[in-house]
A and B are shown apart, each in its own frame.
Chain A
């Protein structure tokens, strides 16, 4: 298809495209004339494991056949890398990780904290946080956490309902309500700011407020103990991060936006198809408008208290179906996720990026799932899929089947290096990372 230009009027949400005055007034910050296209990362989490029989491809290298659940992705087969033979051994330290511990380890490469399942937490940052630390600073929003998480899913355990974190107590919750997501990305929730003068006045006031807030943190820091100092420092560094977001304006591009979604948009489990499509569209717009370069899409809380795919005719939860080894329903679920990924790829493919390629070719999508085998609750055969591209730094269109098996850390290391231009030799706990994934 003929790529649309970045300057094309964007119609994503609700079909109505209207300009947001605040955006029009934004000053140029990122020079789009830069020589090389920037790289982006989209994390794509779907939980509760796979049915291995229908997940792993057959064949090898560039000569492979997609398995059942990936059939919808056939049109983009040349922009996929599928894997088998990856283990997540960090998830087994210090004890069997179940959903939570495997979740923590798979994208951090670090062991989880030792405690009961509902208390398991990561001990190091997730890969998207590390990538955002390196490349996120170039855009107004360093990292975008979003997704579709119905209220109450994950049994109220926050760690089951997030896919990004900086450490054991620093979980990054996804922004799931469409209107809040819209505000976060495109208007900062500023009521009534219209026109360039108002935006500049707001910027000045915010600057004075944040300067004062930070100076008070600096002053009060001396009063508290060592551990509390670390918490305050973390709060300050978070303010510094959002400072870019709220004080600088998106690049001067004719990025026409849809109207703001209504506050009462239904976030019921049964409305997930429409709700997730809306949030996906907003994430795609944020990438296309270069509001952010690192995004994390989280599909539902894993484990007990999960989602029921009622729109596929299911009456039992995803988690229960995984345990029951319900091959038919689990195949339907993961096929549906493939269809959503297809949509994301198609949309990104419509935008022409700097240098003439498509946005998709410069966006590495990392599909991950905490368990290789959902029924058996095992983290072995960690089901990574890479989609899109890394601006040519990865050869797409392959199936890599490792024997002997390698560690998930090695895939993380390679992805991290190609996205950030780093030459790191390890990722996460070095014990589980002898080097980049061979041949990747």
Chain B
């Protein structure tokens, strides 16, 4: 039960919660009231400010993609790296400011680099070595050729004399302990631990005394490739960078169009949705087998596939709009999932199905997807609070303060013959708890038609499920009944639309929009317009045309 006073949500017990964006919400550390920060009056003036883009380190996924592009498939090496930090406030695994490197990670970088280097030299040397060390020019010349070509690719920019000399000395030490190949192995191991590889330093030179610097081709190629492919640039991008053909909006959008046609762009957009909706690990969810014997690993894996197939369909075949994510009447399933959902007789492979035609109610996109509902639930029971927090934070980008000091956050124990909703009602009736929980639980009640394993249910503890819910304090405030009506509300919400754009901004830039400048806010506004008018693909295409993407800012104390 909730034993202590909670002042954080309202300032005063019993008061209705403040509107989102007002000082009670979205202020203080961790504030992320991003969907509701208004842009400056005009976004048409020349850009004078974007945020200092923090130095980004390759994420674990980017590291592995980049290595496989550079050196071939390394999946057999089972490399692993310390998990990246995410929170409900920042669900993406790429927040630059939190990318610290403790000794364990430095050790993992070292051992990974050595394993990759050894494996490459053993199995795929010809992939990176274009010269013959036994040729007349000699080993040293071949080593120099290799270093220049490979390091420039790995560092995503032509190397300079200092870098070249340093790597040559690494090669020489390796050579002295073995043979030519030992030297090459050392160079690869060094490059994969060097800051130029692990971090994305941007080197575009300033023009005059300007603090805002238009990106050169190399920086632009790198930004584009990690945005759209989650990996390093390909030959075509490098060629365009070298030829100075990544400067104008038209040149950039031509590259973007080319890149978006590759399967990798599809993976990136799927990754965004999985992280945004916090459904990245459905197969590792633990559900009480005594309560949910049907939630098998095969079902969990199918649920993950359902989310992916659905998002792909909305984005790449549908209109890609946020409204469709929340309302689409179709989904994808195979027989494993169909049997779990009570509609057996589906095919062995995943196929698109119309939920209503199968007699499945309700039908509203991701909000009726088993994986999402299982993820946002406890092990053996639904959690209206968690589901409500998910809607507030992930879909409406609102900040919710933590429970205050000394509050006891033990969830209510559900008595036999009591529904989850009845057990949770204490939260809303107790004024101490109510000031915050009225922000969360009534939204979550709308999902009570889905049990903690994501299966549709009509009764809870023998009583009919009550799916009536309500949202306070948003632009779609009011009551609703079940996921379908909630989906319709969110589909019409400018706050939800702005939130989706803000989430894309985070994903694209690796930083929290709480730090945004006017230039950043105008970018979010542009993303929002693109999303509203042309869906997710239009939004993604518009990211590289925004000021924070086109420019870098000289950081305070840096170059």
Contact = CB atoms under 8 A, between A and B. Distances in A.
Given A95-B8, A116-B400, A212 B285 contact: no
B110 A95 contact: no
Nearest to A376: B408
A175 B380 contact: no
A228 B97 CA distance: 8
A304 B379 contact: yes
Nearest to A231: B100
A114 B30 contact: yes
Interface stretch (A58-66, A316-324, A337-345): A316-324
Contacts of B404: 95-96
B406 A169 contact: no
Contacts of B190: 208-209, 212-213
A389 B193 CA distance: 41
A102 to B, nearest CB: 12
A323 B379 CA distance: 13
A171 B102 contact: yes
B535 to A, nearest CB: 29
B225 to A, nearest CB: 21
Given A119-B87, A223-B559, A228-B555, A212 B169 contact: yes
B236 interface: no
A431 interface: no
Interface stretch (A238-246, A272-280, A390-398, A416-424): A238-246
Nearest to A91: B405
Contacts of B118: 191-192
Contacts of B167: 212
Contacts of B555: 224-226, 228
A169 B98 CA distance: 5
Interface in A151-180: 151-153, 156-159, 161, 166-167, 169-173, 175, 177, 180
A242 B83 CA distance: 19
B209 interface: no
B133 interface: no
Interface residues of B, number: 85
A202 B182 CA distance: 10
B290 A242 contact: no
Nearest to B112: A189
Nearest to A190: B114
Given A224-B55, A242-B106, A114 B163 contact: no
A235 B104 CA distance: 11
Interface in A262-320: 263, 269, 304-305, 308, 315-317, 320
A400 B297 CA distance: 49
B114 A189 contact: yes
Contacts of A376: 408, 410
A142 B288 CA distance: 40
B85 A172 contact: no
Contacts of A225: 52, 54-55, 555-558
Residue among A116, A169, A227 having the largest count of chain B Cβ atoms under 10 Å: A116
Contacts of B80: 177, 180
A131 interface: no
A234 B558 CA distance: 17
Contacts of B177: 201-202, 204-205
B75 interface: no
A203 to B, nearest CB: 9
Interface stretch (B66-74, B194-202, B238-246, B335-343): B194-202
A232 interface: yes
Given A156-B281, A189-B111, A375 B410 contact: yes
Contact of A216 (B28, B163, B410): B163
Given A173-B104, A316-B288, A220 B196 contact: yes
A212 B402 contact: no
A183 B80 CA distance: 13
Contacts of A210: 193
Nearest to A378: B408
A234 B13 CA distance: 44
B405 A238 contact: no
Contacts of B88: 116, 118-119
A421 to B, nearest CB: 23
A26 B400 CA distance: 55
B312 interface: no
Contacts of B286: 152-153, 269, 305, 308, 317
A115 B189 contact: no
A77 interface: no
Contacts of B410: 323, 375-377
B405 A95 contact: yes
Contacts of A98: 402-403, 409
A73 B379 CA distance: 33
B218 to A, nearest CB: 14
Contacts of B85: 158-159, 169, 171
B402 A115 contact: yes
A209 B89 contact: no
Contacts of B162: 219
B166 A151 contact: no
A205 B173 contact: yes
Interface in A8-55: none
A238 B106 contact: yes
B148 interface: no
A414 interface: no
Given A120-B402, A205-B173, A213-B195, A188 B105 contact: no
Contacts of B98: 169
A152 B284 contact: yes
16 contacts: A94-B405, A95-B405, A96-B404, A114-B30, A161-B83, A172-B102, A173-B104, A189-B114, A192-B118, A212-B166, A213-B195, A222-B559, A227-B97, A238-B106, A305-B286, A317-B379
Interface of B: 4, 8, 28-30, 52, 54-55, 78, 80, 82-89, 97-107, 110-111, 114-115, 118, 162-163, 166-167, 169-170, 173-174, 176-178, 182, 186, 189-190, 193-196, 199, 201, 203, 280-281, 284-286, 288-290, 378-380, 400-411, 413, 555-559
